[in-house]
Structure 1
Amino acid sequence: MFGALAIAMLLTMLVLAVAWASIGVHGLLLGRMPGRWLQRRVRHPRLWGAGALFMVASWSAGSPSLLVIGIGLVALGHIAKLTP
Structure 2
Amino acid sequence: KLLKEKEELALAAALESVKQDAVAAINVENFTGAMNALAELRKPVDAFFEKVTVNADDAKLRLNRLRLLSEIRAATQTVADFSKIAG
Normalising by structure 2, report the TM-score: 0.37
Query: Greater Rg, structure 1 or structure 2?
Result: 1
- Higher RCO (Cα < 8 Å, 6 or more apart): 2
More helix by share: 1
Normalising by structure 1, report the TM-score: 0.38
